[in-house]
Amino acid sequence: MILRPEPLSALAFGAFGQVLEIAGQVAEKINQGNTLKFADLAEFSFGPDGSPRLSVYRSRPAPTPISICMLERHPLGSQAFIPLHTRPFPVVVAPPGAPPGPDQIRAFMTNGRQGINLHPGVWHHYQLSLDRESDYLVIDRAGPGTNLDEHALEDEILLLP
């Protein structure tokens, strides 16, 4: 099966998480007018016994077409990826719940200025990069409990970015 990414937008991505971007957001002027503050861009969810954890993921570019064989999910917390670069990258997701069939798997392409914040339990492929090694800021949940499930796909999907 061939999967081609659609452009990432808040509307299209709403079932899976939030698009983290300042485009279209209202800013407040602070710091004597010298700073525009785009506040409260993400709805974090770390549960009653979780706490936020900040990491950097440095990811190798994936050879294209990108082979999608496995999805994962974090049932106990949201997971945000914010690029520390300005190049588009693909995001592969499927709805939370039972392991998805192939027709439930969706791919999106960021515009180079967007990050994402996955809702808890949303199935997704691990962070993918194109072209060159890329760094991402990751904000996810630290805490007790098993926060990783994996699902091997029956048939490989080829992602054509």
35 binds a copy of itself (CB under 8 A): yes
Query: Which of residues 10, 41, 109, 130 is near a copy of itself by CB under 8 A?
Result: 41
- Please pick, from the candidates 9, 10, 47, 53, the single residue that binds a copy of itself as defined by CB under 8 A: 53
Phi, psi of 88 (to 5 degrees): -60, 145
Rg over alpha carbons for the chain, rounded to the nearest Å, is 16
Q: Any contact of residue 137 with a copy of itself (CB under 8 A)?
A: yes
Residues 3, 94: contact at Cβ < 8 Å? no
For residue 65, say if its preceding peptide bond is cis, omega within 30 degrees of 0. Answer: yes
Does position 64 interact with a copy of itself (CB under 8 A)? The reply is: no
Decide: 142 and 50 in contact? Cβ < 8 Å. yes
The footprint of a copy of itself (CB under 8 A) covers 20, 22, 27, 30-32, 34-42, 44, 51-60, 62, 80, 82, 84, 126-127, 135, 137-139, 142
